[in-house]
Structure 1
């Protein structure tokens, strides 16, 4: 099977506090966008081997990869092992806050269940997904947007009729999600940077992780300020724990023009794409 594995942005991410289990309670809306990896899964037969390949150097090909973790978790719940071959054709950058690894894991769960004769129902797949990562369940839903609570893993489909043009900008450095959450409580706002919710027709865009991330990665704070000054920009925000910043524009032509300007502003090492939310 070959499946499209889309990226996401967080239109909002509110951190409500630290939980007894060490994770953080959040409220978030995840919205799928038009940048996607392609995930291929082949059932080879009996056995328990997994061969993973990827077009991007540096992506882990061992059991630490969320795609293999998803496959192992599926087999454990289904009670049967097979031999598999996985290929990831990556277009979503890693360490970007765009959910690439989580989306790949969800695609593997969906494909493995189909190839194995659908032994598990969606509710069980969602449970497995939540145990792999907080963003994974969202990608199992056949909706363009979902609201996440708990650690983010408790998902419900969200109505989202807007097709929003946007620009994604990821500098050359990644940001580890656990680090960003760990720094959240003691972090401080930088003067002159907008952290307040941005009121939009689709909701209040805000991200509680901007505070700790901007405090260390000043480029991202400057990038957000610059984006908000650009023509046609309705809102700008960091996605997830970063390092991707995104700006929503009024039209596709404006997002294309902004992408060119952002590439010049950030330099050639930055990953910049114009895209839109899925409907």
Structure 2
């Protein structure tokens, strides 16, 4: 079977403090995007061989891959060992704050469950996903938007009637999520950069991880400032821990226009994509 594995953005990400377990308590809203990977899953029957392939040669194909971790967690929970083939056709860049690996893991959990005759409920899949990564549970849900609490793994579906065209802009460098959280407490705001919530009909957009990330990666605050200066842009923000910045526009045509200007402003090494929520 072939499945769509969507990317996500965080419309807001607020850090409430560090928890005793070392993670951080957050409040966030995640929105699924039309942009996504394609995941092919084949149940080959008896045996224990797992063949994992990927269109991106930089993606690891061993047990560290979140898709493989998801399959192992499914097998352990159900007590079923089988032979599988999984292929990841990647369109979501890695280290981008767009949830590509988490989405792939959730897609494998749902796909393997379906192919195996649905032995697990959605609640059980969400529980498994939370063990793999904080963003995985939101991709188990089918709604276009979800609120995350705890370390992000406690998800609740929310009504989201807005259709938001947007452009995604990811520089050539990735940002490790643990590093961004570790630097948060001691980080400072840069002068002249907008960190305050941007008030929109769908909520107040802000990201507390912009503070530590912007301190080191100076291209990102410059990019955010440039985006907010564009007449077509309603709001601009970093997604997750970065390095992707996104800008919401009034129309899909405007998103394409901003994408073209962003390619010229950022240069050839930057990944730019127009898409939409949903």
TM above 0.5:
yes
Partners of 1:2 and 1:140 in 2: how far apart? Answer: 16
Q: What 5-or-longer segments of structure 2 have no aligned partner?
A: none
Q: How far 1:52 moved relative to its partner?
A: 0.6
| Cα deviation code 1:190-226 (max 9, x no counterpart) | 0000000000000000000000000000000100000
Partners of 1:253 and 1:259 in 2: how far apart? Answer: 10
Q: How far 1:49 moved relative to its partner?
A: 2.0
The answer for the alignment partner of 1:27 in structure 2 is 27
1:215 aligns with 2:223: no
Partners of 1:218 and 1:178 in 2: how far apart? Answer: 19
Taking only aligned residues, the RMSD between alpha carbons, in angstroms, comes to: 0.6
The answer for the alignment partner of 1:133 in structure 2 is 133
Summarize the alignment of residues 249-260 of structure 1 with structure 2, pairs less than 5 Å apart.
249-260=249-260
1:41 aligns with 2:41: yes
| Cα deviation code 1:146-192 (max 9, x no counterpart) | 00000000000011000011010000000000100011000111000
Q: How far 1:252 moved relative to its partner?
A: 1.3
Summarize the alignment of residues 55-204 of structure 1 with structure 2, pairs less than 5 Å apart.
55-204=55-204
Partners of 1:140 and 1:173 in 2: how far apart? Answer: 28
User: TM (normalized to structure 1)?
Assistant: 0.99
SS at match of 1:246: strand
Partners of 2:67 and 2:47 in 1: how far apart? Answer: 18
Partners of 1:165 and 1:240 in 2: how far apart? Answer: 18
Partners of 1:73 and 1:120 in 2: how far apart? Answer: 12
Q: What 5-or-longer segments of structure 1 have no aligned partner?
A: none
SS at match of 1:80: coil
The answer for the alignment partner of 1:248 in structure 2 is 248
Partners of 1:101 and 1:189 in 2: how far apart? Answer: 30
Partners of 1:131 and 1:118 in 2: how far apart? Answer: 19
Q: How far 1:231 moved relative to its partner?
A: 1.1
User: Which has the larger displacement, 199-208 or 245-254?
Assistant: 245-254
Partners of 1:9 and 1:267 in 2: how far apart? Answer: 23
Partners of 2:231 and 2:253 in 1: how far apart? Answer: 11
The answer for the alignment partner of 1:225 in structure 2 is 225
Partners of 1:259 and 1:87 in 2: how far apart? Answer: 29
Number of residue-to-residue matches in the alignment: 278
Partners of 1:57 and 1:269 in 2: how far apart? Answer: 18
Q: How far 1:237 moved relative to its partner?
A: 0.1
Partners of 1:112 and 1:66 in 2: how far apart? Answer: 14
Q: How far 1:133 moved relative to its partner?
A: 0.4
Q: How far 1:47 moved relative to its partner?
A: 2.0
The answer for the alignment partner of 2:277 in structure 1 is 277
1:234 aligns with 2:224: no
Q: How far 1:251 moved relative to its partner?
A: 1.3
Q: How far 1:93 moved relative to its partner?
A: 0.3
Partners of 1:22 and 1:134 in 2: how far apart? Answer: 13
Partners of 1:121 and 1:276 in 2: how far apart? Answer: 30
| Cα deviation code 1:251-270 (max 9, x no counterpart) | 11111110000000000110
